[in-house]
Amino acid sequence: MTGKQSAGHLSDLVIIENEVVEILEEMSYELEHLECFDREQRAELHTILRAIQADTRTHHDIVSSLAGDPNGEYVRNA
């Protein structure tokens, strides 16, 4: 795999991760307005969504580090 191919795959990964974070944020917002859950269920779902968001951001940071970009500038701008 060439450097350009790797960069392309990295860029694709970053786009997907950013989309996942956006979707999770939208889900959190929608969850606030659903009336089919009680407070405890809603809190549990928020906790799960926040954990997934944190994992996605951590993965982003790890990929940045492995790509030789500890500040994440390349990955953020991909």
Return d(Cα 62, Cα 51) in angstroms, integer: 16
Domain membership of residue 13 as a residue range: 3-76
Q: DSSP class of residue 2?
A: -
Q: What is the pLDDT of residues 7-22, one digit of tens each?
A: 667 777 878 888 888 8
pLDDT at residue 78, as a whole number: 47
pLDDT at residue 70, as a whole number: 57
**Signed CA dihedral, 57, 60, 62, 68: sign only:** negative
Q: What is the pLDDT of residues 42-69, one digit of tens each?
A: 889 989 998 998 998 898 888 777 776 6
> Which residue shows structure tokens 């993965």?
59
Q: How many domains does the chain have?
A: 1
pLDDT at residue 29, as a whole number: 84
Question: What would the DSSP string read from start to end of 33-77?
Answer: H-SSS-HHHHHHHHHHHHHHHHHHHHHHHHHHHHTT-TT-HHHHT
